[in-house]
Structure 1
């Protein structure tokens, strides 16, 4: 392994609580974090250091599990164990709570914006995925509730260019959704993991999907032509499984849109970067471990997020309440 992954900054982001998730704004000028302290924090760079610009502490009554920026960067959504999702609107250097989305029966585990900015997806421990529509007056309406999972839904992610949604669940499955006749329906169910699927990430083009699991593997799925003339479902197949690299649950996976590198966050306190072998058959891709930091935070690593504009810049967060900023340098 000639590639390097070096820590650049460490931030004591959520003292005395877990830091669950970090998300870069679309231009990468801000970093949002959330945690067990019920707060969302917004970070910005001042000179060579990162400073907390504001703390959003009045939106939720319980742990904030995920945060997501709208594609325009003017809105931030936060999903909480209090069964609500808050929509925050950016006002100069501050944020105000615009609206609170209610309806899930219990913990909201994830929130994600569609690439158009007109749709929002949330998922919950209540086993459902909700699709929300946003109008020009910033009004949010739930337009579809999909119950394709049989257990807690951990994560939702949108395709980078299409209105195609994927979800991951405690039921070991991944579901793919599309809108059909003004309603959303499950078009494919990806089965192969033997334990909880924690997170998902599409590749830069959206042709493939990476999933990570409690079974300590990462699977790469590729969309393929459906067989037997069946147009009612879409076909995805597992074309690669990364196993033997992780010693505990893999909590997050992220595909870098700039370099194509794949990074994982693991319960063994490790961060691992994988590079695809460009000489391999695209139908049978090969990913090699190119960089590994075995003791990244001193506790579980919960999230990994590539910077959207600066190649190789990576943010991670941990159960110890810390955020770390890393620089990944590749030999090729």
Structure 2
């Protein structure tokens, strides 16, 4: 019997344009969305209903593709097809534009904050990953440009506790970076997907990494000590979930409260997977726990778990809508 995925609310978030991304702030009280209409919208609860609290306009000239909340929740970064990343500062209930980061040659596809809040990563269609350092005066400086991919870089994700960065690309690969002697280096290249890797999500401990792809598969990678006992750790694919998605898997999010995996797909569906209780950590198995085949009217672009309320899930789509779901686990 499948676990329940119940629709809590559906919102016309970005009418007449795609909604590309939704992201919860660190305490789970606000939800930010962005889309093809060049705006960012901030959503909060009034009673049991999610309503728009703020609309951030004039920050970008083209589509806003991705957002990232700082770990403290006081800053919001937005990545745009106009080749810039904007930083917004929360001031009481409003947001003000703080600065604009420039340098990428074309579309910025993703932005992500390190767990310390002192580093920011951006990636672009220009095939590069940039790491920015933030000082106490809110000044941002690019400290390195990484060119480990041969194609458009779709996504960047930080390890939950370490300054370790992962990136996913149109070249079918995943790269893992870390700082060595004040210089950032690609420490590992994860090969296994046969088409574009769209998104990445670390587990709660950071020992595992989930990836999703245009090849319609989800892969679980596990970190292992270096075989020689020295040097860099290695990442190995320990599980592949295939046969579940009818089209591209655009997004994946690993719930750090429950361990459930949610996916967003071009087949208009949202799915939730749970790890089998008896599975071997070195050969884990996952089962489909919930499947909403018509979650949206068009491609589902993003899924994200609330960081504080177990089972609360948000999704967004090319149809411009945000959907809030409740995943109820069955005994």
Give matches, 1:241-280, under 5 Å.
Answer: 241-280=240-279
Tell me the CA shift for residue 294 of structure 1: 0.3
Matched, 1:206 2:206: yes
Tell me the CA shift for residue 226 of structure 1: 1.9
Q: Secondary structure at the match of 1:263?
A: strand
Give matches, 1:6-155, under 5 Å.
Answer: 6-155=6-155
* Structure 2 counterpart of 1:288: 287
List runs of 5+ in structure 1 lacking aligned partners: none
- State how far apart, in whole Å, the 2-side matches of 1:118 and 1:56 are: 24
List runs of 5+ in structure 2 lacking aligned partners: none
CA deviation vs aligned residue, 1:30-88 (integer Å, no higher than 9, x gap): 10000000000000101111111111111000000000000000000000000000000
RMSD (CA atoms): 0.8
CA deviation vs aligned residue, 1:215-253 (integer Å, no higher than 9, x gap): 00000000112224662x431000000000000000000
Q: Secondary structure at the match of 2:205?
A: coil
Q: Secondary structure at the match of 1:299?
A: coil
- State how far apart, in whole Å, the 2-side matches of 1:281 and 1:35 are: 40
CA contact (8 A) 2:149 2:171 kept: yes
CA deviation vs aligned residue, 1:276-311 (integer Å, no higher than 9, x gap): 012111110000001000000110000000001000
Mark the CA change 1:254 to 1:96 in structure 2 (over 3 Å): closer, same or farther. same
- State how far apart, in whole Å, the 1-side matches of 2:32 and 2:176 are: 27
TM-score with structure 2 setting the length: 0.99
**Runs in 1 of length 4+ with deviation above 3 angstroms?**
none
Matched, 1:216 2:216: yes
CA deviation vs aligned residue, 1:205-224 (integer Å, no higher than 9, x gap): 11000000000000000011
- State how far apart, in whole Å, the 1-side matches of 2:280 and 2:34 are: 40
- State how far apart, in whole Å, the 1-side matches of 2:51 and 2:244 are: 34
Give matches, 1:116-195, under 5 Å.
Answer: 116-195=116-195
- State how far apart, in whole Å, the 1-side matches of 2:31 and 2:146 are: 31
Q: Secondary structure at the match of 1:260?
A: coil
* Structure 2 counterpart of 1:307: 306
* Structure 1 counterpart of 2:322: 323
- State how far apart, in whole Å, the 2-side matches of 1:128 and 1:57 are: 27
Aligned residues: 331
CA contact (8 A) 2:198 2:213 kept: yes
Q: Secondary structure at the match of 1:304?
A: strand
Matched, 1:297 2:274: no
CA deviation vs aligned residue, 1:91-117 (integer Å, no higher than 9, x gap): 111101100000000000000000000
- State how far apart, in whole Å, the 2-side matches of 1:214 and 1:121 are: 23
- State how far apart, in whole Å, the 2-side matches of 1:51 and 1:331 are: 30
Tell me the CA shift for residue 149 of structure 1: 0.2
